[in-house]
Amino acid sequence: MNRHHVSLAFAVVAVSMAAAPAPPFRDMAADVGLTFQHVTGATGDHFMPEIMGAGAALLDYDNDGDLDVYVIQGTALDPGKQPLFPPPVGFKPGNRLFRNLLSPTGTLHFVDVTESAGVGHIGYGMGAATGDYDNDGFLDLYVTNVGRNVLYHNNGDGTFADVTGKAGVDDARWSTSAAFLDYDSDGFLDLFVGNYVDFTVQGNKHCHAPTGEPDYCTPMAYTPVPSRLFHNTGTGTFVDVTESSGIGSSYGPALGVLCADFNGDGRTDIFVANDTAANRLWLNQGAGTFREAALQSGVAYNADGRAKAGMGVTAEEVDDDGTLTLLVTNLTREGATLFRGNRKDLFEDVTSRNGLATPTFGFTGFGTSWFDYDNDGRLDLFIANGAVTIVESLRAQPYPYGQSNLLFHNEGPQRFSDVSNDAGPAFRRIDVGRGVAIGDIDNDGAVDVLVTNNNGAVRLLHNDVGARQHWLEVSLVGTKSNLSGIGARVALLRDGAAPRWRRVHTDSSYLSASDVRVHFGLGERSDVRGLVVQWPDGSSETWDNVKPDRVVVLRQGTGRSR
């Protein structure tokens, strides 16, 4: 090889290295003050709740325009025994609230304000749900536990008050995911609480792995317990309507909860992912009643007629065709299940032909969400993974349940590619993933991901690529509908393209609550013709001349009626 050829070769290598794309995500939790370590309280008795939690919430509790973080903590179920994994130095018991002190230049910094805010509940925590149940303009917080649940009313001055007893929304059983929804469209958010099984410490059952060693039980070792539906009276109190609504007539071990209009009738329905039992789909019949229709709708079982270990859930109009696409995460060797809806209100398991069966088969999925991480206008998919039985390759480790997380890019139409290996070091980390909450943590137009880990540190996966393309975020203010617009649908209108619809919600995923704002990736085009909002009360409005690359606030009654 002569000198000219050597120089050319080095030039090619240099160009290739320069062209290598930067990974889309990086974990920056520790760098910005999100120092939280989940503890299981495990003592070797294999109490089932130890392997299941816990979740988190992204919410702007102080209305300063940026997202704060609430994380759920475990504790010792048998405090008389020595824990296998002692808490770290400086450990503070109970759930923690971190306030986001985002600087004008976009620099993130979080401070722990748990004690001053009054939200440091100490219990065996599971999940969180957010919603402004009294329409005072401040998001409230519901916390689920193994045992007593807690409703925190946001006082609007940086503090919360425990109003559980006054509001009438407690449940002494093992509650998991919860969701705020306005199922009767009266302008006040109601509350659905998913319950799991009849576990108690005193009634703990002893199970074993196929190898004969002690192991955590599956939910089939216990009896499932009914979930609950609470109706908001509009006076700061709730009424338990579980039986009168029909919700109590059928149930399983509930984990993932998602509220959306599944059959296009304008009413909010409730989907529940059950662990090792048929899923439930409660279709809203109006007049305060629901009809269970998962089997008829095609979402009770997978294509093989099997009930999987349903954990996390996420649903959006992924194909921009007016129908929901529902994803449920499951156990290792089951794979995720992707249900695609059609205009006849039926769903079909399309996991294999959409490219998700094989990549998810080797993982136990929990928290999950559709979101447009690169702002190209198509919804991508994130799944947090972590086993509930020992991972043989990690058997020598103290806590051998870790798995890596997954990121799928939407190649459209109806095809996804696994881009986890190119998503950065955060996707090569072995954690025991559980909760996932999504939101634009620093208001740069790119959706970030908060991930909780069982017996591990919280991760904040900052999105470093989404802000390179145009975007739009929408915040609703309801007047006749509930103040946050939960249950509304928002459409992006652009010339030469079909309307792109998104739901307003904080629920879905697993034990977690996400940003209530709606996000649209716009790609390289900055043009937006307008926005349409279909409010929960049935009214519809249009806003014209919307500018991109910003957060737009739409107040009910200020748009053009349709």
The vertex-386 CA angle with 381 and 392, nearest 5°, equals 130
Domain ranges of the chain: 28-561
- Report the percent of the chain where pLDDT is more than 70: 96
Judge whether 445 and 517 are in contact, CB under 8 Å.
no
Q: Cα 357 to chain center, whole Å?
A: 21
CB under 8 Å to 133, separation ≥6 — which residues?
140, 151, 167, 180, 188, 189, 191, 232
- Report whether pLDDT(212) > 90: no
How far is residue 27's CA from residue 454's CA, in Å, rounded to a whole number? 17
How far is residue 425's CA from residue 441's CA, in Å, rounded to a whole number? 20
Backbone angles phi, psi at 247, to 5 degrees: -60, -30
How far is residue 447's CA from residue 461's CA, in Å, rounded to a whole number? 9
- Summarize pLDDT for 472-518 with one digit per residue, the tens: 999 999 999 999 999 999 999 999 999 999 999 999 999 999 999 99
Residue 413, pLDDT score: 84
Q: DSSP 3-state assignment of 149?
A: coil
Question: Exposed, middle or buried by CB within 10 Å (0-12, 13-18, 19+), for 425?
Answer: exposed
Q: Strands of 416-418's sheet, edge to edge?
A: 365-371, 380-385, 406-410, 416-418
The answer, yes or no, to whether the previous bond of 536 is cis (omega within 30 of 0) is no
How far is residue 36's CA from residue 91's CA, in Å, rounded to a whole number? 9
- Report whether pLDDT(284) > 70: yes
Residue 14, pLDDT score: 42
- Summarize pLDDT for 21-32 with one digit per residue, the tens: 788 999 999 999
Q: What is the dihedral of CA 361, 363, 367, 368, to 10 degrees?
A: -40
How far is residue 394's CA from residue 396's CA, in Å, rounded to a whole number? 6
Q: How many residues does the chain have?
A: 562
CB under 8 Å to 463, separation ≥6 — which residues?
24, 25, 373, 446, 447, 448, 449
- Report whether pLDDT(13) > 90: no
- Report whether pLDDT(15) > 60: no
- Summarize pLDDT for 172-208 with one digit per residue, the tens: 999 999 999 999 999 999 999 999 999 999 999 999 9
- Summarize pLDDT for 103-134 with one digit per residue, the tens: 999 999 999 999 999 999 999 999 999 999 99
Residue 10, pLDDT score: 36
Residue 209, pLDDT score: 86
Residue 541, pLDDT score: 97
Q: What is the dihedral of CA 289, 291, 292, 294, to 10 degrees?
A: -120
- Report whether pLDDT(382) > 90: yes
Beta bridge partners of 489: 503, 534
Q: What is the dihedral of CA 84, 90, 96, 99, to 10 degrees?
A: -150
> If you search the block for the tokens 């910003």, which residue do you land on?
550
Distance set, CA 412 to CA 319, 320, 475, 528 (Å): 8, 11, 27, 21
- Summarize pLDDT for 399-415 with one digit per residue, the tens: 999 999 999 999 988 89
Distance set, CA 136 to CA 95, 102, 149, 234 (Å): 24, 24, 22, 11
Q: SS3 helix, strand, coil % of the chain, rounded to 5?
A: 10, 35, 55
Residue 109, pLDDT score: 97
- Summarize pLDDT for 320-348 with one digit per residue, the tens: 888 999 999 999 999 999 999 987 779 99
Q: DSSP 3-state assignment of 420?
A: helix
Judge whether 169 and 143 are in contact, CB under 8 Å.
no
Residue type at 17 in one-letter notation: M
For 475, the token pair is 């915040």
How far is residue 258's CA from residue 250's CA, in Å, rounded to a whole number? 17
28-561 to CATH, choices 1.10.340.70, 2.130.10.10, 3.40.309.10, 2.160.10.10: 2.130.10.10
Q: Which long-range contacts (CB under 8 A, 24 or more apart) does 152-161 make?
A: 152/118, 152/119, 154/61, 156/63, 158/61, 158/62, 158/113, 158/116, 158/117, 159/116, 159/117, 159/118, 160/61, 160/117, 160/118, 160/119, 161/118
Residue 20, pLDDT score: 57
Q: What is the pTM of this model?
A: 0.95
